[in-house]
Every structure is written in C-alpha cells, then in structure tokens.
Amino acid sequence: MPAERPFALVWFRRDLRLQDNPALHAALVSGHPVLALYIHDPRPADGWALGGANRWYLHQSLLALQQDLAEIGVPLACLKGDAEGEMKGFLTRRAVAKLYCNRVVEPGQGEVEADLCALAERGRIEVETFHDDSLLPPERVAKKDGTPYKVFTPFWRHVSDLLQRNGVEQRLFPRPRPAADPLPADPLEVEKLGLLDAHPWHRKLQAYWSPGESSALKAFSRFLQERIDGYDDWRDFPARQGTSRLSAALHFGELSAARLYAVCQGRLAHKADEGARAGIRRFLAEIGWREFSRHLLHAYPRSPAISLNGRFERPGAWAQDHNDRRLRAWQRGETGIPLVDAGMRELWESGWMHNRVRMVAASFLTKNLGIHWRQGAAWFWDTLVDADLASNTLGWQWVAGCGTDAAPYYRIFNPQLQARKFDPAGEYIRRWLGDGIEPAPLVDLGASRDRALQRYQAVIRGASG
C-alpha cells in the first residue's frame, strides 16, 4: 500500500476564514495537499476556558468553516484536549510536510505556539507562522524609551503612522477558488469537541446571530452601505442600528482586522462629505481601540486578573469584593435602574450588549454597587458571544478607573442621564423591559455616587501618604 502523501497542515485558531488568511494561503500554494486542524482545549494553561455564549458561537463558526473548506477540497480535523498532547499524537498519525499557523496575541498563546512549533520541528516538520490577530505585532510598537504605550491617542497616532508607511495589503488574499471535486462536510467532526451544553439554552442565540465568514462579510458590506457614514452620529444610541455588530466575527477571525482597516481607509480617501468622513474616522478609531487592547494585554499579561493601577487592589478600594444578592440582581437585570436592567436582559437574551450600555452597566456595578470589576468581567466573559480577553479586560478596567488610559475615578455614569441622552424616547428600555413594573432601585444613585467618590479618594490619599 503506497505511503500517504505528506500534507501541508494549517492549524486554525482565531482565524476561522478562507479570505485574507496568511497561513491558509501559504499552505494552498505550497504544492502539498492541504489538511486543516482545530484543537479545542477545555482546560487551557492560562485558565481562561471559553464561556458558554463563546462556545456556542465557536461551534457554529467551525461548522461554517468546515463547509467552506470542504468546498475548496480541504478536510477539517477537530481534536479536543491538551493542545500539545493532541498535536503530538496527530503528527505521529499523519504525514505532515509543513505546519502553518497564525499567531494569537494573548497571554500563554505565544508559549503554546512555541511549544507546538518546537514539537513539529523535532519531528523534522517545517514550521511557518504569520502575524494576523492584530494590525501590527505588539513588539513592533513602543514609545521612544522602549516602553509600551499606556494612553490611546498617542498609541493610535503612532500605529496609524506605521500603517500609512507599511500598509496591510500584503496580508489580504482573495477567497480560494472551489475545488473541482469538493469534499463532503461531516458535522460530527465538530460535534465531538463538545462545545455545546447539554441544556439547549443557547437556541435563543440563533435568532440574533449567523456565525461564519460569509455572514460576516455580508454584515460588513451592509454596514458600509447603510451605517458607517452616520456612525459618529448614531453609534451611542442603543435603540438604533448604528453600530457594526462585527465584534464576534473579529474575535473569531471570520473577518480580518487588516481588511476592515484597508477597506475603511480606502473609503475615507474617496469620501468628500465631512460628516461621512467623521463616521469612517470614528469607526477606524474603534478598530484602534481593539488594537490597543491587544497591545496592552501583551504588555501586561496579568491584567485580566489584577488592576493595572495597583492601588485599586488595596483594602478599601471596593465597598465589597463580592455581594451575592446585589451581584445576582445586576446579572438578572433586576437592579431597578431601567437602562442597566435593559442592557443586562439584552445580554442574557442575545449574547450581546450595546457598547454605550456596557459602560453604564459596568459603571453601576463597580461604582454605585462597589463590587470589584473582576466580578463583572467574569459575567461578561461567560455571556457575551464576542467575549474577548483583551477587549473585555480593557473595557472593565477603563470604566472602573483602574487601568491604563482609564476613565478618571470620579467619572461615574448616571444611568438616568445616559438614558435621557441616548434613549430619549425610551425605545431601547421598552424593548427589553416591556411595560412591567420595575423593582425598587438597589441603591440611591446620588448617595452611592458619593460613597464611591469617598472610597476612591481615600484610596488615592492612602497611596500618596
């Protein structure tokens, strides 16, 4: 029986797409038949096991990727378990000529990449890695003194300058052509990863999301046609369809940040209307915040668990590290504060929350209730389909006032004023709360604000004393 012809192996991770995929493109032009692999580690070394909503989205996205790969004649193998052990077993079972993968910018992922690449090389398998998860590799962006940026505006100015000089076009590849003989897709290959909970709570998410590269590309196209020009005017109004809702697609790599940046820059260059240009620039800045979060996480890998401003880890920084009754009320959308409750119920029902409302809900938990930001970050991690370690960490530390480039400790969102400004007709609140009677507020907004200011001022005085 003839020996198996060696494969070019593409290790898929946070890049679940065919278009603009450097690792897949290199494998396809290598001259070897191509095999795709996804490994799900339910107990990752960094401790950040995927949350429930994230797992549902990943399951659906992998099914879509499997179908897309089958159309170009590439089979997808799925493995569950310790990444190094599973890869070692796979490489001993299959003939692999070269391993291709795209980097992931997260704590521990670099070590995983290095270990698996070293494992492949010990087996005399060539390895090629590519940068893909952010616009620029974090190690390429630093201040003149070599330290990482901690403030967004100079960071984004520097990154924008580098991108203007070097561009991202070299990372953009067309979608591969269908194979003459496409393969059948076997959904049981994805099912064996066990990403879905036995209780079918996640079925409700199907009404709100259609994971996969094709859906993501269509959503981006609609956003460009219908909303990006008015993005600066309407992105803060939760009752409107003013945002892109592409965060989950970006997190799982159904879309590349490089393509979003390149397309928006091209559109900006050809738009004369200043209002439309403002909308495009604002959206580019949001791509910049995503970039900033990745670079910060790379520089401060402990930040998902520890406040970057260490004074907020001292006794007295929080009224309570944990309060079960108040935390549960916040999680269930039963705080008696309509905008907060509407947002929390949107999250529970759809796996997503409008960004303006995320900030208000986070401010209420950390400042009015005095509960540590880690409790809120953990809840978002489990319930958001777009749960992203870098963005989630930056967002919570920003609102809590304890991160880099954070909102000042004395900035406390007033949910009532925010509702009047950004949901003036009450459409968003009615959509998620209906016309039922709200419970009495957990706390008085004014009194709890005063307590938060006193608490933070005491922490700062203690730090300077």
DSSP codes, 350-395: HS---HHHHHHHHHIIIIIS-B-HHHHHHHHHHH-TT--HHHHHHH
Q: Which of 48, 313, 349, 355 is catalytic?
A: 355
Q: Which of 348, 396, 398, 432 is catalytic?
A: 396
State yes or no: is 355 an active-site residue: yes
Residues near 306 by beta carbon (within 8 Å), at least 6 away in sequence: 313
State yes or no: is 166 an active-site residue: no
CB 127 within 8 A of CB 117: yes
CB 20 within 8 A of CB 259: yes
Closest C-alpha among 67, 30, 40, 106 to residue 22:
30
State yes or no: is 289 an active-site residue: yes
State yes or no: is 234 an active-site residue: no
State yes or no: is 318 an active-site residue: yes
Residue 86 identity: E
Where does residue 352 fall: left (phi above 0), alpha (psi -120 to 50 degrees), or beta otherwise? beta
Q: Which of 71, 189, 191, 286 is catalytic?
A: 286
Helix (H, G, I), strand (E, B) or coil at 135: coil
Q: Which residue has the tokens 């809840």?
A: 379
Q: Which of 289, 313, 334, 349 is catalytic?
A: 289
The alpha-helical segments, DSSP class H, found in 33-167 are 52-71, 83-93, 109-122, 152-166
Residues marked active site are found at: 286, 289, 318, 355, 373, 396
